[in-house]
Amino acid sequence: MSDRPDRDVSRRRFLQSATALGAAGIVFGEHLPPGYVPLGIEPQDPERIPGKDDLTVLGDRPLNAETPAHLLDDEVTPASRLFVRNNGNPPPADGIDPASWTLSLGGESLLRPASFTVAALREQFETVSLQLTIECGGNGRSEFNPPVTGNQWTVGAVGCPRWTGVRLRDVLEHCGIADDAVYVAYHAADTHLSGDPAKEPISRGVPIAKALEAESLIAWAINDEPLPWHNGHPLRLVIGGWPASTSGKWLTRVDVRDRVHDGAKMTGSSYRVPKVPVQPGSEVPDEDMAIIESMPVKSLVTFPRSGVTQPLGEEFEVRGHAWAGDLEVAELHVSIDFGANWQPAELRRPVNRLAWQRWRHRLRFPQVGYYEVWARAVDSQGRSQPMVVPGWNPKGYLNNACHRIAVQVTD
């Protein structure tokens, strides 16, 4: 299955559906940014995979699938609607025995290497449950121009379930952390697509300070149920607020390193962005790239589904979620005129640190025609989502441009 971008197809689809916009056309069209392509009114039917409600499959080797925005409306993301991001082949489901699964702890900067079964983790350490936002670093990649390779995520590689497990900090401190500790890295049971047992598909990590946060978990459950196979059953890391690639699935080993981890997809351009802005389409030397850490401020419109028809004069409710990596979201604004004017929306506090925040707004449209409802979040340090795709980078990471839905207003 190909995951290459096809911008011409999306533009043709919009032009083919243009008649659906009605004779009144695009309201506030004078505010359209140069080169901007409206969404149009054309619902898409996603492919399906077992155990995941209507997720859109982007690639099957390895399997990667995202969740349409309107299916992320739950305040707590159901397991069946959590995106799938695989880098290799998962361990065979019928070969996983949670009772015998073992997690090893080691590395240059761990004082007392140890091993734990899942049962031992439950018995020896405090069990905690936290709702934590997890988002692929490439979420939004499909919007970059010039296009970049990789899974062409739109907006659905994100979710915020309730995770249950033990704090990574508690386990590491039990084993003893040396003074020279720099990084915490994971290894897992998935295998490389090449079949070479000497290669790992992915082995990433985080600085020691992030690993020791109270919200960094070794988890065995999601929403009070065992982890789904595609989401790491029976054990995984959950590192809230940072790219999901740091939250290793099918977890078998955690190492405390005396250096920045150099495992698979930690070096080169993987999960890195240019240290300074670059010209779109340019090549960037590896030494000029920086590892992605906290994710940027972002928001999502989850209700209603894009393409809805709305009678003129009736109140229109729109809602969704907002999140900001390690930070909190301070404001959420909505626009119906392509960003010329913004209306403040109701924004809730997170249920715990690193959980996304619910927002909602009610508005009325001034006349018949085609509209787009845009959402823009501002984080606790005053940084706002951009209205257009932010700085281009070779791997298409960290697109936090405003999300939008199409609305046709009729008599």
Contacts of 360 (CB under 8 A, 6+ apart): 317, 318, 319, 320, 345, 346
Per-residue pLDDT of 360-384, as tens digits, reads: 999 999 999 999 999 999 999 999 9
Of the listed ranges 40-44, 204-208, 325-329, the one predicted with least confidence: 40-44
Tokens 């740091």 belong to residue: 246
Determine the Cα angle at 131 with ends 152 and 77, to 5°: 50
Q: What is the pLDDT of residues 91-123, one digit of tens each?
A: 999 999 999 999 999 999 999 999 999 999 999
Using 50, 70 and 90 to split pLDDT, how confident is the model at 31? Answer: confident
Please tell me whether the peptide bond between 146 and the residue prior to it is cis, using omega within 30 degrees of 0: yes
- What is the Cα–Cα distance from 251 to 274, expressed in whole angstroms? 30
How many residues are there in the chain? 411
Mean pLDDT of 269-279: 97
One-letter amino acid at 60 equals: D
Mean pLDDT is lowest, of 31-45, 233-247, 291-305, 370-384, for: 31-45
Spatial contact of 254 and 193, defined as CB atoms under 8 Å apart:
no
pLDDT at residue number 51: 83
Whose CA is closest to 77, among 86, 89, 68, 88?
68
d(CA 21, CA 29): 12
If we measure between CA atoms, which residue out of 176, 150, 167 comes closest to residue 214?
A: 167
- Neighbouring C-alpha atoms within 13 Å toward the C-beta of 188: 34
Dihedral (CA of 167, 67, 318, 75) sign: negative
Return the ∠ at Cα 381 (arms to 376 and 384), rounded to 5°: 20
Average pLDDT, the chain: 92
The string of pLDDT tens digits covering residues 231-257 is 999 999 999 999 999 999 999 999 999
Q: Which domains does the chain have, with CATH numbers?
A: 84-291 (3.90.420.10)
CA 120, 121, 124, 128 torsion-angle sign: negative
pLDDT class of 19 with cuts at 50, 70, 90 = very low
For residue 84, the cross-strand partners are 65
* Residues 6 or more apart in contact with residue 334 via CB below 8 angstroms: 318, 342, 343, 345, 361, 363, 373, 374, 375, 376
Query: What mean pLDDT do residues 54-72 have?
Result: 95
Check residue 45 and give its pLDDT.
52
* Mean pLDDT, rounded, for 137-162: 97
